[in-house]
Amino acid sequence: MYNPPLFKEDRIDVLHDAIRRTGLATFVTQTADGLIASHVPMLLDRDPAPYGTLIGHLARPNPQARGAIGEGLAIFQGSDAYITPSWYETKRQNGKVVPTWNYVAIHAYGAVEFFSDPERLRDVVTRLTERHEAGRAQPWAVSDAPPDFIDGMLKGIVGFAMPIARLEGKWKMSQNRPAEDRAGVISGLQAEQRPEVADLILR
């Protein structure tokens, strides 16, 4: 992605934390049918260093599950917000301002391995469930469903693992604006109940 130095985020711990908080990714691969994108939750394992491995699954009928040509790309979209020029002090000074969009984006690239081993699939599904059910008063577990039902559901998916070879982060958060413009953006976002984006600008 186009990533000017001012917006570049390359601290691996920050990128990993954002991936885990986002959860859902746009998974893009080149296939015999052309480019295909699917929207899937993913797990991030720390190994191999330094970037780790992304893990998830696709529906078996999905043509993307038949194999990938070259690298895969997983896109994680973080917090974002439209930024009106009306929030800028520069607008009042000279009017030379335009709208923009603040956002967090992470792109992970790597070779993709597909697998159908039932126990490996069960592990992926169990880990995804435990992650997203954690903190609920009565978390649902894979073991709550009849074993033969789960066995049948596992036959309908294909797992994938993508060791990350390249990891890019972009935090476009008004770093290119003067301090008084950033202050105006923070105030405007807070007034519009977008504290998560305002907090990222403050950082």
CA distance 182 to 171: 14
State mean pLDDT over 7-36.
95
Instruction: Assess whether pLDDT exceeds 90 at residue 203.
Output: no
Q: What is the pLDDT of residues 94-118, one digit of tens each?
A: 999 999 999 999 999 999 999 999 9
Is residue 19 within 8 Å of residue 78, measured between CB atoms?
no
Residue 66 C-beta-side C-alpha neighbours within 13 Å? 10
Give the mean pLDDT of the chain: 96
Own/partner long-range contacts of 147-155 (Cβ < 8 Å, ≥24 apart): 150/122, 150/125, 151/118, 154/118, 154/121, 154/122, 154/125, 155/60, 155/118
- pLDDT value of position 23: 84
Give the H/E segment covering residue 197. Answer: helix 195-202
CA distance 128 to 26: 16
State mean pLDDT over 51-61.
98
State mean pLDDT over 61-78.
96
Q: What is the pLDDT of residues 124-134, one digit of tens each?
A: 999 999 999 99
- pLDDT value of position 192: 95
- β 113-115/24-31 pair status: unpaired
State mean pLDDT over 26-53.
96
Q: What is the pLDDT of residues 138-172, one digit of tens each?
A: 999 999 999 999 999 999 999 999 999 999 999 99
Instruction: Assess whether pLDDT exceeds 90 at residue 3.
Output: yes
CA distance 75 to 116: 24
Domain annotation for the chain: domains and CATH numbers: 5-80+101-175 (2.30.110.10)
Give the H/E segment covering residue 90. Answer: helix 89-93
